């Protein structure tokens, strides 16, 4: 869906959400809906409704759709020409959950490579212990990074961790920081999401444990349990790891019981924040056309602009 | 010192702090200082300074003092007549740390009685395990509840816990609450202070662990470690205990990673807040005379009023 | 309605609010509504709609209903089988206003008993003057404590006052407080609601006076008018009463022109806050099943948890 | 003191405050002090201290001073050449309290003229009743408008009221407002200051009643007591007057129990705010030279700029 | 529409917005809509719907309406008896945009008169340069002052500027202010709206430039471009003008990069704020009847009261 | 000074600030001062004061010092043995202003290299125009980045710009961003500091223009003036550059009139924030020993921790 351009034809199956029958400015009824699949979502409209669609559709429904893409007020939209409701027997719900477009295997290897390069033996052992816990590692590579703010997709936690890891590599060249602890911190700062969220056929949701304890404490507790399994782990390092995990939200009002007080903790928070906000921009503007504006209602809380085509800026470029 | 009344004579040894030589409105030099002992503190002034006092005193110094109490602008004060500096060999510094005036033994027994009355076998076992850990229990009965906000004295944590316990007994009659969990929660909500603070000869201070992790997480972690030692402890109860401990600050900006979401957690927070604020009033106004006002600079952030003598209100009462 | 359990049959008349005709996931129309009576409210659904219900129902309507209760996503709900619209001639609207389930007579006596026990003659006289003003006292015993936040029911103000009174009795044992003033304060802190709100057939609403002056000032003014009728009332006590009433919201942003500056004023605020928040929890979770979560949209502004059955926690209890 | 210009000689008596002996950059001792009289205050320095001044001066002291004014880092300052300490018997303390430079008699008449022009008979009667209460009217014309924020001088409340009155006259031409109520409101919005503050020989201070109840409620109560003495006063008008007085702080966090909800209340608040902030600017920059900046520590919380001389801006003007 | 009174007949054409078909308390369908024309807007209802209206109307539609006005719950409303949908060919959309009721020509002359009276030659030249730029001056006299908060109508910016100008004339009598700069500032403080907003047939909207740079900077940049065209313009005056324009929002959170630090800047901000808030009150309560309350959802964020008729207050007046 | 270790001898000249004569706990007088040179600052103490030092030293004074470094409560300090006051004729004040320790020539070249690599011809031309304006470029390479928050040293603006540039290079690999605009933005986001601040012999200060307009607007205006000199510069690109510069503070309360609404603007803000906060940590902890804590009073508003030596963490490492 990411590759749709105005004019392109579309024929595929989707999860349909936010369904409603409305009237246009001429008084004609049409079906308004959102089409979701692994690669993202897009708004759609259907006119010329057959009788059985005039009364609307439940949300979500799974549908087979034919139509084509076009631009409407600066945002890409699908005009549906044919629509068939699928029965649950025809499909596997999990296929329609949004999922990362990145290669999860490659991302997992990038993380492993970083951990195996640690010079600090204790952090290296801790890292090795964690990635060799198969059940944990599978969950970490599958989990979404959030229910809705950013990276809310299968593999989203891994994707966010890898982005943070790449930024951290650059920072380690710049500041007199404990590189191993910084890398460990950016990779696992959100590890508590693995217990805070659930991701099954029914979509992404908070667990009861997640709502009562929160991912900040759950993550610190999880890593501490691996540390406890390593005899001779230095107390000072244990404290510094726990501090990085507990303080990564940056401010108490965002759920960190303490604010960052070491350089590694400060940088982990800042890198997390940077990648999260960049993702909010990118995910909000996915379907906005060049020169257009997004809606106000998004995690950044303001309308966002997608600049006009660079070609128009640089007319002399092709000369 | 608590029993001082205007006109009373005073002869005792104290820790002298906030020492300074100043000039009065006639231009005469005097020594301004604060006298501290286990029972509290009081402002003092000394005129007619001998040569060796004219150049001032370090803070803190330990001193033997003779003088008498009088009221100055609505606050009790000591006028010092004789003052002798003590040598460290003559004293034991810890004797001068502020300490609770309550009977620590009796308070400890009141807590034990409550715990041993629990109907929930799991909570009862957990409670028993904690109080029978001698090192922990000794620390819990000795610790201050804070470095400065309220109950900042040896035994202050126990004193605060017992006050909360008494209020919780009343609430358990009023609301459909899990009484055992409520009582357990109010007694141990601040248990992390045992690791967050240190209290030795040099006064009350934060530990490095306390500043990096905070008493909220340290307390939850401590109790969880006792729970882990109890086989068959119900998962749901474990979650609810952790939630009570983590959320007791009430709002994230005060350092709780989650806000209270169960009735027990909500009440523990509210009882803690009630007793803390009452203590702030009482500790701020200790030396303020009836009809007088405290300074603005106190944990409640406003001048506090001590009402005028009831006798003056009810002149007809004795008729 | 409070005693409904999953599976129970229901046959009674209610006020129906929040009515809407919707379609379920199979596309079948159903009526969604809320059933309200004196004892509370519950969500309901009706399928197999007769022609005259397909176009919906005004809100509120008074209805006779047959159906049974069941649990849906952790919240108790009614499945309606038969529904008959009542004509206004058939009913008395006020019978359907939510009302306290407590015995109002008994609560009023509990308040009287407290006031008649005052040692301070002036406060005792003031109290007596107020409860012997029949019109006032009737209004005080009838009024809701709020339009919607908590205790929004006939007799709710009295119920809230009595809860606060019981807590205050416990606090008077704990702190060196003027007990009579504390008890007077908790009983009458919200007395201005009597003029701020109206409660007639049309439900609970703000009066114009209430919106222009607010219950804080209206309450202080009302009590001051009784004080003015008592010759020789001490000025100091008058000030302290007014201060308790004016400052009971605790902070200026919640509508108190001054913050609490005496111990009695501080405690009245804290007790009010404690009981109000406990009521918010209890009223929000009335129909939530054990192990379930409430919606976010409630006066506490967060999803609330109703712990799972204690039976599961205490398996040994029945042994 | 207002007319001082750089180079001018000065010989007069003052209250000296903020006195301190300091050393300059060459290590020479000097006396730093503030000279206060009815017309304002100014910073001063004295070098070549006689023996009895080397040990400093109490604050406040009353002094006879000779010296001359000069500019130092953009602010006017006095260099003291001779200084004699006055005995209390030689002076009347109240002569040294800052006082308005405006003609209080003329301002009082301007207020009276406005009130006597009211078309609304009820407001006219109320106004007449208030100004004919001699004790009240004397206090109103004498009171400062604040302890320190703005118009903190004898007659300051009257001065602030007259400024607001003049602005209100302009607004009454502009908006469809009840002119009489607007004028009444701007004149008496701060009338509670008469009871909130005391102004005697010892300077400006809060009364106990002022700290417990605040000027907002005290003012509304005072005006209501006059209204109560007028039979047949319309209830609606009484409500609107009370609302204007209670809401004049504009927002609850500044101590108004309700925000302005009528046009008159809204405008009274906005006019009060406008004149108060203009006064803060003017009082803060009294001694700042053209092209200079004030300190940050003032009621507006920012450094304020006094533009450079217009002559320098318009050099061609005189050509 | 402004002159409508209960009972009056109405026959005119409007833009119809917020259209919806609803059911009343008897279950009868009616059309709910808002009627807009140059003079304002009013809520309307139509019963006895012909077949083609039962399915609703697009929003906006242009309609010819017959009906009469009446009061409903304290707000004026129109009961529509006949309604005919107009075709776009029959009308000019811009005729239905809300527009000022004031005489734009007269207001423009009032501004010019002020500018031509400036004593400061530089400000006078600047003013003359601006008003003689025909394209700019036409836009300034046409622009709305906002998209929705206040003065959101053709000519609204001019109307707001003139109101501010009149208030500023009064303030210039009261404070030692640079009168020319104050008048220039209040007239042109919002001049950036000319580029921030667009106003065509499709209503009022933000431009892309407006959303990326904001009217505060756009205004300062626009005036600076005129200043740059005036040789010999004093640098100090240029700075002071820029400061007035940049700081007029008063606080950084409202979009001013610096807070007001000169008296002129402070007063421009306060006058802007005063007139904006008065307009919010007046525009919100346009159709509210005496003794009635507006909705909460308006730019002032609270229900607003329209006092009851003065006649009712002063029954003795006609005697 | 950066290379000082406990025990090292020191013999050099410094600017001495924060000078004061105090008494130690034995009552002996000592001189407390801060020693500043280009490389940083350090606290110092001197005992055994000669007569002429007993009366103190002005601040700042320039001094020749002999002594040695030692650790006191976790912070490095100098114990002064000999101290000679220098005369102004003996020194050049500017030599004592803090200055970057980085090679300014190399940093300037790193910036130039980046700009000359731009693919966008317009940005490349703009960049070239700016760096070839010798007066501007010299000022840019000399200016401090702030008066006190971070990088407050000669060359500090360049140092901050280069750090941001390096981070931006990494981000350009990660996000689909306009790389040239991102690099241009991070290099010049704070360019307005060149006019907002002055840096001469008397230290770092705000200019009047800086306080009235602020570096955000001054920077945008400066770059716009270069853009205006380039014919054919695309309007869209001009808008995007201005938006990046105006929004780089991230939130309006920090002085940006608009929040970032393009990806480049968002990233420039986040990179600026990241490097600024890292610098605050590093500059605050310069003299804190491993295992020690800084004071609370620093730009991050919390005590900061310098972790204990890694050697102690990894005891097995050397085995």
Three-state secondary structure along chain D? CCCCCCCCEEEEEEEEEEEEEEECCCCCEEEEEEEEECCEEEEEEECCCCHHHHCCCCCCEEEEEEEEEEEECCEEEEEEEEEEECCHHHCCHHHHCCECCCCHHHHHHHHHHHHHCCCCHHHHHHHHHHHCCHHHHHHHHHCCCCCCCCCCCECHHHHHHHHHHHHHHHHHHHCCCCHHHHHHHHHHCCCCHHHHEEEECCEEEECHHHHHHHHHHHHHHHHHHHHHCCCCCCHHHHHHHHHHHHCCCCCHHHCCCCCCCCHHHHHHHHHHHHHHHHHHHHHHCCCECCCCECCCCCCCCCCCECCCCHHHHCHHHHC
Written as six digits, the tokens of E142 are: 């046409």
**Which of F311, F291, F294 has its CA nearest to residue F303?**
F294
Instruction: Reduce the DSSP state of residue E1 to 3 states and report it.
Output: coil
Structure tokens at A120: 């600090």
pLDDT digits (tens, 9 = 90+) for E254-265: 999 999 999 999
E147 vs B170, residue with greater confidence: B170
For CA atoms D200, D204, D209, D214, the dihedral sign is positive
Q: What is the pLDDT of residue B15?
A: 86
| Alpha helices per DSSP H over chain A | 51-54, 104-116, 121-131, 134-142, 156-174, 179-188, 193-196, 208-228, 235-246, 263-284, 310-313
Distance from CA of A217 to the nearest CA of F (A): 21
pLDDT tens for E25-49 read: 677 888 999 888 888 788 899 998 8
Closest by CA to C210, choosing from C190, C187, C240, C184, is: C190
Q: What is the pLDDT of residues C16-34, one digit of tens each?
A: 888 888 877 666 888 999 8
| Averaged pLDDT for residues C247-262 | 97
The DSSP 8-state label assigned to residue A7 in this structure reads T
Per-window interface: D 236-255 vs C, CB < 8 A: 239-240, 242-243, 246, 252-255
Report pLDDT digits (tens) over A7-37.
889 998 988 888 888 877 666 888 999 888 8
Report the neighbours of E using a cutoff of 3 or more CB pairs below 8 angstroms. A, C, D, F
What percentage of residues in chain D have a pLDDT greater than 70? 94
Q: Give pLDDT, residue C60.
A: 76
CA F93-F97-F99 angle, 5° bins:
140
> Cβ distance A78 to A68 under 8 Å?
yes
Minimum distance, in Å, between the CA of residue E182 and any CA atom of chain A: 34
pLDDT for the residue D201: 62
Give chain C's radius of gyration (CA, Å). 23
β-pair partners for D14:
D63
Q: What parts of chain F have a pLDDT lower than 50?
A: 311-319
- Report the relative pairing of strands A29-37 and D40-46 from DSSP bridges: unpaired
Question: Do you know the residue count of chain B?
Answer: 319
Q: Which of D209, D224, D257 sits opposite C214 (nearest CB)?
A: D257
Going by C-alpha positions, the residue among F124, F130, F114 that lies closest to residue F222 is F130
Tell me the C-alpha distance between D223 and F231, whole Å: 69
Instruction: Give strand pairing partners of D205.
Output: D198
Distance (Å, whole) CA C78 – CA C44: 4
Residue of D176, D277, D315 with shortest CB distance to E270? D277
For chain B, list the contacting chains (3+ Cβ pairs, <8 Å): A, C, D, F
Long-range CB pairs of F80-89, under 8 A, 24+ apart, other chains included: F80/F31, F80/F33, F80/F44, F80/F45, F80/F46, F81/F46, F83/F31, F83/F46, F83/F53, F85/F57, F85/F61, F86/F13, F86/F61, F86/F62, F88/F62
| Residue D243 token pair | 């609302």
* pTM, entire model: 0.88
Q: What is the CA radius of gyration of chain F?
A: 23
In this predicted model, what pLDDT tens digit does every residue of D49-107 receive, in sequence order?
A: 888 888 778 777 889 999 999 888 778 899 999 999 988 788 877 778 889 989 999 99
Q: F293, B211: Cβ pair inside 8 Å?
A: yes
The set of chains that have 3 or more CB pairs under 8 A with F is A, B, D, E
- The predicted structure's pLDDT at residue E314: 40
Closest chain C residue to the Cα of E291, Cα to Cα: C208
Q: What's the CA gap between F178 and F120, in Å, rounded?
A: 10
- For the segment D33-43, what is each residue's pLDDT rounded down to a tens digit? 988 888 778 88
**What's residue E4's pLDDT?**
80
Of the candidates B197, B242, B191, B196, the residue with the CA atom closest to the CA atom of residue B219: B191
Q: Which pLDDT band, with edges at 50, 70 and 90, does D171 fall under? A: very high
**Once rounded to an integer, what is the mean pLDDT over residues D245-255?**
97
Partners of A10 in the beta sheet? A67
* Contact between D117 and D165 (Cβ < 8 Å): no
B-chain residues within 8 Å CB-CB of A259? none
DSSP state of C293: B
pLDDT tens digits along D99-149: 998 999 999 999 999 999 999 999 999 999 999 999 999 999 999 999 888
As given in the structure block, the two tokens for residue E82 are 């006949």
Chain A residue with Cα closest to C24 = A58
pLDDT (tens digit, 9 = 90+) per residue, B12-65? 888 888 888 887 766 688 899 988 888 778 889 999 888 888 877 877 788 999
ipTM for the predicted complex comes to: 0.85
Torsion of CA D192, D194, D196, D200, to 10 degrees: 170
Measured CA to CA, the distance from residue E18 to residue E31 in angstroms comes to: 10
Segment C59-98, tens digit of pLDDT:
778 899 999 998 887 788 899 999 999 887 888 777 788 8
Q: Which of E196, E213, A235 is nearest to F217 (CA)?
A: E213
DSSP at C144: -
User: Between chains, do F305 and B55 touch, taking CB under 8 Å as contact?
Assistant: no
Q: Does the pLDDT at position A313 exceed 70?
A: no
Q: Quick one: what percent of chain E has pLDDT higher than 70? A: 94
Our answer on whether C and F touch (3+ beta-carbon pairs < 8 Å) is no
Q: List Cα–Cα distances, B19 to B202, C180, D59, in angstroms.
A: 18, 42, 21
Closest-CA distance, C123 to chain D, in angstroms, reads 19
Q: Residue E282 to residues D174, D314, E98, F148, F281: CA-CA distances in angstroms?
A: 12, 43, 15, 47, 52
DSSP annotation of F253 reads G
Alpha carbon separation from F222 to A258, C218, E55, F242 (Å, rounded)? 41, 59, 58, 10
- pLDDT for res C20: 84
Helix (H) or strand (E) segment spanning residue C35: strand C29-37
SS3 F70: strand
Of B57, B58, B208, the CB nearest to F305: B208
Residues pairing with D31 in the sheet? D21, D46
- Report the DSSP beta bridge partners of residue A6: none
Per-residue pLDDT of B79-119, as tens digits, reads: 999 999 988 778 877 778 888 989 999 999 999 999 999 99
In the block, residue with structure tokens 């003794």: E291
Q: Do chains A and D touch (3 or more CB pairs under 8 A)?
A: no
Query: Which residue in this structure is represented by tokens 């295992």?
Result: F291
Question: What SS3 state is found at B319?
Answer: coil
Is F307 in contact with A178 (Cβ distance < 8 A)? yes
Q: Which helix (H) or strand (E) holds B181?
A: helix B179-188
The rounded distance, in Å, linking the Cα atoms of E289 and B29 is 73
Q: Which long-range contacts (CB under 8 A, 24 or more apart) does F83-87 make?
A: F83/F31, F83/F46, F83/F53, F85/F57, F85/F61, F86/F13, F86/F61, F86/F62
In the DSSP assignment, the letter for residue C286 is T
Core vs surface per residue A169-191: b (16+ CB within 10 A) or e: ebbbebbebbbbbbbbbbbbbbb
Q: Give me the long-range contacts of F194-199 (CB less than 8 A, separation at least 24).
A: F194/F136, F194/F139, F194/F140, F194/F143, F194/F157, F194/F222, F195/F222, F197/F143, F197/F144, F197/F146, F197/F147, F199/F97, F199/F142, F199/F143, F199/F144, F199/F154
Q: Which residues on adjacent β-strands are paired with residue D42?
A: D35
Instruction: Look up residue D288 and give its two tokens.
Output: 């700042």
- D261 shares contact with chain C (CB less than 8 Å): yes
Averaged pLDDT, C31-55: 86
Measure the CA–CA gap between B21 and B23, rounded to whole angstroms.
Answer: 7
């Amino acid at each position: 869906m990411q590759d749709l351009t105005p004019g392109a034809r579309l024929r595929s199956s989707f999860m349909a959400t936010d369904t409603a029958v409305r009237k246009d400015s001429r008084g004609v009824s049409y079906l308004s809906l959102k089409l979701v699949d692994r690669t993202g979502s897009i708004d759609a409209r259907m006119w010329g409704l057959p009788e059985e669609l005039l009364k609307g559709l439940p949300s979500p429904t799974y549908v087979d759709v034919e139509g084509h893409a076009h631009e409407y007020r600066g945002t890409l939209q699908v005009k549906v020409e044919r629509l068939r409701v699928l029965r649950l027997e025809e499909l596997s719900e999990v296929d329609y959950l949004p999922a990362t477009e990145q290669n999860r295997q490659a991302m997992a290897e990038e993380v492993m490579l970083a951990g195996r390069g640690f010079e600090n033996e204790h952090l290296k052992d801790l890292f090795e212990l964690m990635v060799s816990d198969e059940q944990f590692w599978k969950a970490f590579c599958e989990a979404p990074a959030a229910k809705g703010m950013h990276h809310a997709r299968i593999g989203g936690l891994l994707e966010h961790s890898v982005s943070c890891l790449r930024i951290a590599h650059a920072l380690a060249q710049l500041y007199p920081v404990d590189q191993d602890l910084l890398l460990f911190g950016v990779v696992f700062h959100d590890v508590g999401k693995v217990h805070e969220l659930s991701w099954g056929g029914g979509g992404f949701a908070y667990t009861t444990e997640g709502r009562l304890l929160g991912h900040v404490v759950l993550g610190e507790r999880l890593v501490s349990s691996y540390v406890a399994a390593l005899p001779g782990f230095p107390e000072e390092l244990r404290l510094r790891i726990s501090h990085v995990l507990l303080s990564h939200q940056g401010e108490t009002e965002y759920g960190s019981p303490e604010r960052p007080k070491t350089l590694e903790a400060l940088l982990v928070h800042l890198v997390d924040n940077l990648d999260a906000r960049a993702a909010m921009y990118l995910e909000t503007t996915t379907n906005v056309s060049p020169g257009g504006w997004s809606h106000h209602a998004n995690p950044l809380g303001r309308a966002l602009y997608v600049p006009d085509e660079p070609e128009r800026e640089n007319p002399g470029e092709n000369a």
